[in-house]
Structure 1
């Protein structure tokens, strides 16, 4: 995205929110006319669009947290990320190595953390506590999205259930932000659901 050419730090969540809006929120908004609202829906158009926006934001926030967690894992083990792009893309997974930090700088400072802390791949209790708060925020956006998504057409709902990953955000913290097997199992479950949905 063009913003990445000149911006590599985000001083607060308002700035992170704006970035997520540009990257994924707009995609959520554009998806509503494509997926369609259920004919029997009693919800307002505004509420459905708000839910679609929340879903896009939630997915991008989860991508950011996943990428930071995986970056720490790679740094700690001195290994190279070479095949962990199932949930995101190559570009985002290497953001930290390119000097970009998509976490709120003010919240990092409040937690006693810094960019250097992240780049060094240090995982401590204060890092886990910080990540837990970030995950809770992402989870709230998923919760905000759920009510509106149920107003979409049936096919769109099935795709939503099979392609979104709120469970992935939930798995980060209990596993000390270094989990891969559980994420793969969640994805396998979602992919099997999508396959079944396509057969209906």
Structure 2
């Protein structure tokens, strides 16, 4: 039952709205389904990093060095604020099929959404604290018989992030959602930008 609780807890954490959700939402409605899906994959890669350092014990280094945690905390907050300001400056929304030679359609620009998702997740101190707390409990419960579960749980969480946010990208670019976005797209993009700035500001002031 303890393991089942961890599975449900992980699901609830992933689907709860946060900075990752706001970023996927913004990129999906502004740049299309592929941009949203790439952002989701970037978030999944970021989760893999969290899982890796949590399992191998680097988390203890961060936990016992306040200055290192502070650096990560402020870097993450600053990046969220940057994404929010960038979103506000480019909030104008026009839902249409991109031209063949447009900036959105260029393959060399697609990687930026992957990078945005990766750093948004990786530099979020709340995400780091989640993995520190959950995996410290899992590893302390491990008595040599559950090592595969600890690793499997990491894969489960990473996969859950990718699947959930890819689904968000799909829903936000559906025909029905397109009708709503054509009416309220610019306002929603502005709200998303303000949301990212708010997340960053709150994270920078939390101790």
Higher relative helix content: 2
Q: TM-score, normalised by structure 2?
A: 0.34
Q: TM-score, normalised by structure 1?
A: 0.34
Which one has more relative contact order, counting CA pairs under 8 Å at least 6 apart? 2
